Structure 1
Amino acid sequence: MEAAGHHEVPPHCRNCGAAVGGHYCPECGQETRLHVPSLAEFVHEFIGHYVAVEGRLWGTLVRLLFRPGALTAEYLAGRRRRYVEPLRLYLSLSILFFALMKLSNTELVQFNSKGDGDKPAVTQQHAGKPGGPVIGGAEDLPDDMPHHTTLPAPLERLAPGFRQSLDHFDRMSTEQKSEVLRTGFYHYAPYVVFCLMPLFALYLKLLYLGSGRRYGEHVLFALHTNAFAFVMLAAFIYTPEGFLKFVLFCWLVLYLPWAMKRVYGKSRWGTAWRWVLLFGLHGLSLALGVVAALGLGVAFAH
């Protein structure tokens, strides 16, 4: 395509092939006068459409961070074009949160080791043949005696190779264990947390049975509230101890019931008991999800 032809209106749209007569295709909406974009145009587009005061990103973040539930209410009311799409917002803030958390070198798990603390502590292990004496701990075991981790029978059936991985993990040094857990967390936790969104929405669906809300509306609320949590947790990590950190913590705790009240419109008592149940259920799910992410890191460690 010659440079001179970039500013001429072609007879057909280069994207869909429809006949055109103006600056935009009547079928797909693409511009007809195309040219090689410059860096200045990219910067102008980013500032004009996302960062400017009237842009989508600014309006989205203001409502997300400072007006609990307002972004969800706007979306449900049909005012959607002026805000960033919920899934894109969630994924962007999720990636940003885990990146900032990784850069902060946050210690996920601390191992207490003293002397031979890197060796796994084994209790109630029988030596020799069945019926032999009980060995009280790892310090009584000969160095060449293999240690085998005992797992619940259902877990053994579901993941028969996990016991060998756990034994291998137990033989690692403290530094190696920390690195395995850290790698596993940052590799699997984003996927685990994302998979918890449908479960979070299911909790809301059960808590608001009879409200007439569709499951998709609960998913929307879950995406917005968890996107807010990513921002606040990232700020919490980088905020020094003091009054400001206390304020952030209070806002993080109070945000969810306030958002629930605005979106679902129940009484204060009706919102309060639902919030307590939702907080407990999601907290338990999140804890199990983090454990699962760490377990996957151990299972696939080499």
Structure 2
Amino acid sequence: MKKNRRKFTQCPNCGYTFEDVNNFCPNCGQENHDLNVPVKHLLWEFLEGTLHYDTKFWVTLQYLLFRPGLLTEKFNIGQRASYVPPFRLYVFVSLVFFFVLSLRASRETEPLKKDLPPIEVPAIPEVRLGDSLLYARDATVITPERTPADSAVQNIDNPTFKMAMEKLVSFSKGGEVSRQKLLKNVSFMMFILMPFFGYILYLFYYRQRRNYVEHLMFSVHFHTFFFLLTILALGIEFIYSGFDVDMWVFWISMLYLYFALHQVYKGSYLGTFFKLIPIAFVYFFSLTLFFLGTLAISVLMS
């Protein structure tokens, strides 16, 4: 897509006098484009540059949502210029996804904060110097309330395991700070899981002698669809609180994966189904391990 430039007549950096054809200064290399405009113009330019926010974006979105596997197939046969690049689309959608997820997490913690009873601070009686020893003898030391988890951790004999459990208990009490830290690490985890899922597909379809990058593009498109679907489901949940996000996202994702595998790898419907079962099992088993590892890292780094 051609960029709409607001050109200078003279380079503000070195003073070179521009010609109409100069998009960059021949003298110093600075772009001939005026950025001193309202923020809304800069935001629109960002969307255009990132997603090609025109017909290309909407066609890409339409194919991604309603034609499982078609974008991957077109990428593999070389039809790429008409669609948003897979990684660029993934990064943008994942940023929106984790932003929405953090908003949901914050909204869930608000009722808990409102239900907490107010803390009453007892008045400290006035003590005369002559009564100080008597007061010290009768005084009781107020210690923070200990939970059953704290008591269980103190009974652990192994020092290493005890330290790890102390960190876990502390992390669980961290509230919003711990939640945001975990979300940040999960976003990085998903970025690592994406090429791993591509390798799973590479192993299951090894006989087709495809290059790994074809399986990787399938994984990128599938995870982008998953993020978009979850964003939509969370929006429905915000309107209708009884909506079961996890169940709907899981089954629609599995159905989408089935048709995407059939579209890209050209197996029969029955053969694709029998491929889907072990692929899904290995993927969710790997996802569980990745998440537990991410949780452990988040706790140890807290």
TM over 0.5: yes
Whole-angstrom distance in 2 between the partners of 1:245 and 1:193: 17
Looking at structure 2, the residues matched to 210 and 97 of structure 1 have their Cα atoms a distance apart, in angstroms, of: 35
Specify the alignment match of 1:78 in structure 2: 78
CA contact (8 A) 1:197 1:219 kept: yes
Q: Which of 188, 191, 196 pairs up with 1:191? A: 188
SS at match of 2:78: coil
Aligned twin of 2:18: 8
Aligned residue among 202, 207, 210 for 1:210: 207
For residues 285 and 149 of structure 1, the distance between their equivalents in structure 2, rounded to whole angstroms, comes to 32
Residue pairs, 1:77-226, within 5 angstroms: 77-105=77-105, 118-120=147-149, 138=152, 146-148=154-156, 163-170=162-169, 172=170, 176-179=173-176, 181-226=178-223
Q: Residue deviations 1:216-257, cap 9 Å, x none?
A: 110010000011001111222232335999766543221001
Quickly say closer, same or farther: Cα 1:17–1:269, change in 2 above 3 A: farther
Please give the per-residue CA displacement for 1:190-231, whole angstroms capped at 9, x wherever unaligned: 111111122111110111121121111100100000110011
CA shift in 2, pair 1:78/1:282, >3 Å: same
Q: Distance in 1 between matches of 2:80 and 2:243?
A: 38
**1:105-152 deviation line (CA, Å, top 9, x unaligned):** 2769x9xxxxx8832287xxxxxxxxxxxxxxx5xxxxxx933375xx
TM-score by length of 1: 0.68
Instruction: Sort the Cα spacing of 1:281 and 1:179 in 2 relative to 1 into closer, same or farther, 3 A.
Output: same
Structure 1 residues 149, 71: CA separation in 2 closer, same or farther (over 3 Å shift)?
farther
Aligned partner of residue 199 in structure 2, secondary structure: helix
Q: What are the ranges of 5 or more consecutive residues in structure 2 without an aligned counterpart? A: 1-6, 12-16, 113-144
Matches of 1:149 and 1:214 in 2, distance apart?
A: 52
Amino acid at match of 1:120: A
Task: Provide the C-alpha distance between the structure 1 equivalents of 2:248 and 2:182, rounded to a whole number of angstroms.
Answer: 28
Identity %: 26
Counterparts of 2:244 and 2:297 in 1: how far apart (Å)?
38
Instruction: Specify every segment of 5 or more residues in structure 1 that has no aligned partner in the other structure, as ranges.
Output: 19-29, 111-115, 123-137, 139-144, 151-159
CA apart distance, 1:265 = 0.2
Match of 2:258 in 1: 257
Instruction: Specify the code of the residue in structure 2 equivalent to 1:118.
Output: T
How far off its partner does 1:5 sit?
2.8
Q: Distance in 1 between matches of 2:21 and 2:63?
A: 44
8 Å CA contact retained: 2:102, 2:180: no
Aligned length: 248
CA positional deviation for 1:8: 3.3
Distance of 1:13 and 1:100 partners within structure 2 = 38
Distance change in 2, residues 1:75/1:278 (3 Å): same
Counterpart in 2 of 1:36?
Answer: 34
Distance in 2, Cα, partners of 1:5 & 1:173:
57
Change (3 A) 1:75 1:173: closer
Deviation string for 1:60-85 (max 9, x for gaps)? 11111111001111111211111111
Secondary structure of 1:210's counterpart equals: helix
Whole-angstrom distance in 1 between the partners of 2:187 and 2:72: 23
Corresponding position of 1:278: 279
Structure 2: distance between partners of 1:264 and 1:185: 36
**Contact between 2:69 and 2:264, CA under 8 Å: does it hold in 1?**
yes
